[in-house]
Amino acid sequence: MQIYWPKFLLKILFWLSAEIALTCLGLDDLADYSEFLLQDRNNFLSPATPIELVTEI
């Protein structure tokens, strides 16, 4: 996998400056909350374990 370094560094610098600006404005928590709302919920679900019912004593 080849990384295009100038584009990668530009994205990192943009993200970092946005984080600093939002923190100074007090809006960083709002941005984190919106990311939480938009993320995929299937990552949090754990696989269900099968349950065996005892029908005889």
One-letter amino acid of 55: T
Q: Identify the DSSP state of 49.
A: P
The CA distance from 27 to 12, in Å, is 19
Residue linked to tokens 């919106």? 34
> Where are the domains positioned within the chain?
5-38
pLDDT value at residue 47:
65
Per-residue pLDDT tens for 5-51?
899 999 989 988 888 888 898 887 777 777 777 776 655 556 667 77
Longest distance between any two alpha carbons in the chain, whole Å: 70
Prediction pTM value: 0.48
Neighbours of 28 (CB within 10 A): 15
Chain centroid to Cα 8, Å, comes to: 19
